[in-house]
A and B are shown apart, each in its own frame.
Chain A
Amino acid sequence: MNEVKNNNIILRVENLTKLFGTKKTLAREMLKKGHDKEEILKHTGVTVAVNNVSFEVERGKVFVLIGLSGSGKSTVVRCINMLQPPTSGKIYFEGQDVESFSKSELLDYRRNKVSMVFQSFGLMSHRNVLNNVAFGLEIRGVKKSEREERAMEMISMVGLKGWEYSDISSLSGGMRQRVGIARALANNPDILLMDEPFSALDPLVRQDMQFELLSIQEKLNKTVIFITHDINEAFKLGDTVAIMRDGKIIQIDTPEGMSSNPADDYVRNFINSADKAQIYCVRSIMQTPTCLVRTRDGANHALKQMKINGVSSAFVVAEKMQFVGILTLENALKVRAGELAYQNAFIRDLPTTTPETHIADLIPIAAEASFPIAVVDENNQLSGIVTKASVLASLI
């Protein structure tokens, strides 16, 4: 319809609609008449996944689609690379109608232009890291030596150098997603489609990965279409953010624009949830204590533990993991020298917190504390510790 107004637009989605079910014609008529998603599902059994969505993505920018689960955001990206053919509407990649591609053109488009990163990684457990990353190139028929060289390059870029020949099963979640990203980048695509890539990761690992993605994006200047349900992630990464609800886009704007000018209450509520300290509780940032001793262990064991872990204090627990206090290096040395009884050496009056405490409520305690804060459950059992650093990191 419109001639390309802006050469910088790499992808344009026009009136995209995707229905799942058999009685699609009836459903489409109901949609036109303005019936909503639930009514249509009830009458026709058709799910309206995406409803008349239009947007444009600029080259080299990060476009974030945000919405709750079931809002249709995953379906939108799957339409972009035609894993799901659209029911109606158009998708233009550099002005070409994606749906009009022949079979071989479509393969070419997937092999060279768009690559995807998946929520649960989508890695192949029968291949090692290197062969996972080289998969896209292998499919394309790139020579073995060439594709391995390229894969090695990508692996070291995502910080996994030295893990090339490891099995996927030996990697942590964060490392697996690094493999997923390396695999997508190995094809040197124009667009990176990322379907909730960090949702399955721990909050701290997630922050690392967000940072990593931003630095990779800066280096390679790829266009990224990023899906998330986390408004903080959206605002942190997105040049433009589109918020989806029930298959429709409610607002498209820059993060600033959206915060200062939310289109409706739904958007406003979404943005209000952005203050992390309010929504995150201690459970999401606590760590396992690295240095743990029992009341019966004695000072020598405690000193050995501190040495192994390279810390200057140990958490002391009673038989059933009941939290007792902290033993400092200083006191432990005193016990060994015979200047102090072991039982009296623990610092007992310490602030504790629970896994359900909101981080906002923890900030004043963390500010005062000179040791990591013990996280205990209702039976006073030690379930983890929270360091000052992790409280601060969660706020960024």
Chain B
Amino acid sequence: MGGVSVLEDWLFKFPENIYINIKEPIDGAIDYMLRNWEPFFDVITKVLRSMLSGIGTFVELIPWWLLISLVFIATYAMSRKILRAILYSVLLFFIGAIGLWDLMNQTLTVVISSVIISLVFGLPIGILISSSKRANAVVRPILDTMQTMPSFVYLIPAVMLLGLGNVPAVIATTIYAIPPVIRLTSHGIQQVDVEVVEAAKSFGATKAQALFKVQIPQAMPTIMTGVNQTIMMAISMVVTCSMIGATGLGTEVLIGINRLESGTGFAAGIAIVIVAIIMDRLTQGIIREESAPNE
């Protein structure tokens, strides 16, 4: 009878004697990297830090009234709607009025840096996987992992390897925000009409000519949608990144949570939403202009 109960246990509960330890090897790997790859991470830290300070200086150089005017002009130029342009300008002014202008600039610095890195790597990778099945097979599961892995998981090693502050924040944001631009660049290029690509080839276009003169311009609306998504995802990482010491609006939210101050939290939250809306609408406007001739 004893035999039967063992069998029953085995059927209904996962057998306890089967256990693979993957925690220790991962810890070991991180340890190894910490000890041996320090110069490498130092270089990354230095490069990112100077990039951040460059972009930060640039963002701070733009006076508040100029930024508001730029948003006004850009919105009007894209939508031809004066009310919308006024609304966005007032919203932006509101961020300053609730005392969050400097923090917004800090947030923008991290977001812009992450988006630039995402585009610099994402666009070429997207182009590469659009034409190579093998590259696609390798990159796709990595993208899936990047998008679904909870970001807290890689925040821990990022902090261990790169220290606290804006540098690991940029890396974490990039990991989270890069997949859409890669996916949509590749998708956009693949869905270009076969006959159009054939036509380019039939006129003696080299691969590069076909890519830059035909495939990429034809895919531009889709690629821009990817860029838009990447920007939105980068903004959505702001609060998470404040937990590893990124400065900006996210810090305020974190303070609000820690001190149970709803007002502080909401003020910063509203500012984040305003930044997101303005960035979304402006990039959407570019997409519409890109795709207008295709209608």
Cβ–Cβ contact A123 & B196, under 8 A: yes
Interface string of B192-236 (1 = CB under 8 A from A): 010110111111111001000110011010000000000000000
In the complex, what residue of chain B is closest to A110 when comparing beta carbons? B204
In the complex, what residue of chain B is closest to A139 when comparing beta carbons? B205
Does any Cβ of B come within 8 Å of A240's Cβ?
Answer: no
Cβ–Cβ contact B293 & A125, under 8 A: yes
Cβ–Cβ contact B294 & A81, under 8 A: no
Does any Cβ of B come within 8 Å of A135's Cβ?
Answer: yes
Cβ–Cβ contact B293 & A126, under 8 A: yes
Does any Cβ of B come within 8 Å of A119's Cβ?
Answer: yes
**Cross-interface CB contact of B204 among A124, A125, A140, cutoff 8 Å:** A140
Does any Cβ of A come within 8 Å of B295's Cβ?
Answer: yes
Q: Whole-angstrom distance between the alpha carbons of A119 and B199 in the complex?
A: 11
Specify which chain B residues have a CB less than 8 angstroms from the CB of A111 in the assembled complex. Answer: 203-204
Interface string of A96-140 (1 = CB under 8 A from B): 000000000011111110111011111111110000000110111
CB distance from A310 to the nearest CB of B (A): 31
Specify which chain B residues have a CB less than 8 angstroms from the CB of A140 in the assembled complex. Answer: 204
Cβ–Cβ contact A115 & B202, under 8 A: yes
Specify which chain A residues have a CB less than 8 angstroms from the CB of B193 in the assembled complex. Answer: 120, 122
Cβ–Cβ contact A124 & B195, under 8 A: no
Asked if A119 meets B195 with Cβ closer than 8 Å, knowing A168-B293, A169-B295, the reply is yes
Question: Looking at chain B's contact residues, is the secondary structure mostly helix, strand, loop, or mixed?
Answer: helix
Tell me which residues from 182 to 232 in chain A have a Cβ below 8 Å from any Cβ of chain B.
183, 187, 193
**Cross-interface CB contact of B203 among A110, A120, A125, A126, cutoff 8 Å:** A110
Most buried by B among A81, A107, A124: A124
CB distance from A294 to the nearest CB of B (A): 32
Cβ–Cβ contact B209 & A118, under 8 A: no
21 contacts between A and B (CB under 8 A): A81-B202, A83-B202, A107-B206, A109-B204, A110-B201, A115-B202, A115-B203, A116-B199, A118-B199, A119-B195, A122-B196, A124-B196, A124-B199, A124-B217, A126-B218, A135-B200, A139-B205, A139-B209, A139-B213, A168-B293, A169-B294
Specify which chain A residues have a CB less than 8 angstroms from the CB of B199 in the assembled complex. Answer: 116, 118, 122-124
In the complex, what residue of chain B is closest to A77 when comparing beta carbons? B202
Asked if A83 meets B201 with Cβ closer than 8 Å, knowing A121-B195, A123-B196, the reply is yes
Q: Whole-angstrom distance between the alpha carbons of A107 and B198 in the complex?
A: 13
Specify which chain A residues have a CB less than 8 angstroms from the CB of B209 in the assembled complex. Answer: 139
Cβ–Cβ contact B201 & A126, under 8 A: no
Specify which chain A residues have a CB less than 8 angstroms from the CB of B198 in the assembled complex. Answer: 78, 83, 116, 118, 122
CB distance from A206 to the nearest CB of B (A): 19
Cβ–Cβ contact A139 & B204, under 8 A: yes
Specify which chain B residues have a CB less than 8 angstroms from the CB of A123 in the assembled complex. Answer: 196, 199
Cβ–Cβ contact A116 & B202, under 8 A: yes
Q: Whole-angstrom distance between the alpha carbons of A114 and B201 in the complex?
A: 12
Cβ–Cβ contact B218 & A118, under 8 A: no
Asked if A125 meets B294 with Cβ closer than 8 Å, knowing A110-B204, A139-B203, A187-B203, the reply is yes
Asked if A110 meets B196 with Cβ closer than 8 Å, knowing A126-B217, A169-B294, the reply is no
In the complex, what residue of chain B is closest to A138 when comparing beta carbons? B213
In the complex, what residue of chain A is closest to B202 when comparing beta carbons? A116
Residue total for B at the interface (Cβ-Cβ under 8 A): 21
Does any Cβ of B come within 8 Å of A167's Cβ?
Answer: yes
Tell me which residues from 333 to 372 in chain A have a Cβ below 8 Å from any Cβ of chain B.
none
In the complex, what residue of chain B is closest to A180 when comparing beta carbons? B199
Q: Whole-angstrom distance between the alpha carbons of A107 and B69 in the complex?
A: 51
CB distance from A221 to the nearest CB of B (A): 21
**Cross-interface CB contact of A108 among B200, B204, B205, B218, cutoff 8 Å:** B204
Specify which chain A residues have a CB less than 8 angstroms from the CB of B196 in the assembled complex. Answer: 122-124
Specify which chain A residues have a CB less than 8 angstroms from the CB of B295 in the assembled complex. Answer: 169
Most buried by B among A112, A119, A123, A139: A139
Cβ–Cβ contact B195 & A120, under 8 A: yes
Q: Whole-angstrom distance between the alpha carbons of A121 and B218 in the complex?
A: 15
Cβ–Cβ contact A124 & B218, under 8 A: yes
Q: Whole-angstrom distance between the alpha carbons of A37 and B244 in the complex?
A: 66
Cβ–Cβ contact A118 & B205, under 8 A: no
Specify which chain A residues have a CB less than 8 angstroms from the CB of B205 in the assembled complex. Answer: 139
CB distance from A198 to the nearest CB of B (A): 15
Specify which chain A residues have a CB less than 8 angstroms from the CB of B220 in the assembled complex. Answer: 126
Tell me which residues from 157 to 176 in chain B have a Cβ below 8 Å from any Cβ of chain A.
none
CB distance from B140 to the nearest CB of A (A): 23
- Inter-chain pairs besides A116-B202, A139-B205, 10 sampled, C-beta below 8 Å: A106-B204, A107-B206, A110-B204, A111-B203, A115-B203, A118-B199, A119-B195, A140-B204, A183-B203, A193-B202
In the complex, what residue of chain B is closest to A131 when comparing beta carbons? B213
In the complex, what residue of chain B is closest to A187 when comparing beta carbons? B203
Specify which chain B residues have a CB less than 8 angstroms from the CB of A139 in the assembled complex. Answer: 200, 203-205, 209, 213
CB distance from A20 to the nearest CB of B (A): 15
**Cross-interface CB contact of A136 among B195, B204, B214, B294, cutoff 8 Å:** B204
Q: Whole-angstrom distance between the alpha carbons of A120 and B196 in the complex?
A: 9
Q: Whole-angstrom distance between the alpha carbons of A183 and B199 in the complex?
A: 10
Interface string of A66-96 (1 = CB under 8 A from B): 0000000000001001010000000000000
Specify which chain B residues have a CB less than 8 angstroms from the CB of A135 in the assembled complex. Answer: 200, 203, 213
**Cross-interface CB contact of A125 among B202, B213, B218, cutoff 8 Å:** B218
Specify which chain B residues have a CB less than 8 angstroms from the CB of A138 in the assembled complex. Answer: 213
CB distance from B291 to the nearest CB of A (A): 9
CB distance from B275 to the nearest CB of A (A): 31
Most buried by B among A106, A109, A125, A168: A125
Asked if A136 meets B203 with Cβ closer than 8 Å, knowing A119-B195, A122-B193, A125-B218, the reply is yes
Q: Whole-angstrom distance between the alpha carbons of A213 and B204 in the complex?
A: 24
Q: Whole-angstrom distance between the alpha carbons of A58 and B194 in the complex?
A: 31
Q: Whole-angstrom distance between the alpha carbons of A123 and B295 in the complex?
A: 14
